[in-house]
Copies of this chain bind each other. A is one copy, B any other.
Amino acid sequence: MPKFMDVHHGMQGITAEQLLEAHQANQAIEGDEGVRFEEAWADPESGEVFCLSEAPSADAVRRVHERSGHQVEEIHPVPLHV
């Protein structure tokens, strides 16, 4: 299954609890789209959030984020990994 790295901007001030809640909100519905969110990293200062997932398509990743109420600005397929 393809991997994706999506990027959220503008999340300045995000807390560990908010990141966990967002991740869990995605995981609660990801099965509907065949997505599996694996890890997420956040920089509260710049407001960047990076989410790594496995998914059938970028649109599937976008739909899960949107249903969870999280706007996502970039979704990159990342077929290469080391």
Which residues of A approach B to under 8 Å, CB–CB?
A: 3, 5, 14-16, 19-20, 23, 39-46, 48, 50, 52, 74, 76-82
Identical chains in the assembly: 2
Residues of B close to A81: CB separation below 8 A: 19, 39-42
Residues of B close to A50: CB separation below 8 A: 5, 50, 78
* A-B CB proximity, top 9 nearest: A41-B78, A42-B80, A43-B76, A23-B82, A19-B80, A40-B82, A16-B80, A48-B76, A41-B81
Given contacts A76-B48, A80-B14, A80-B19, contact A5 B40 (CB under 8 A): no
Residues of B close to A3: CB separation below 8 A: 41
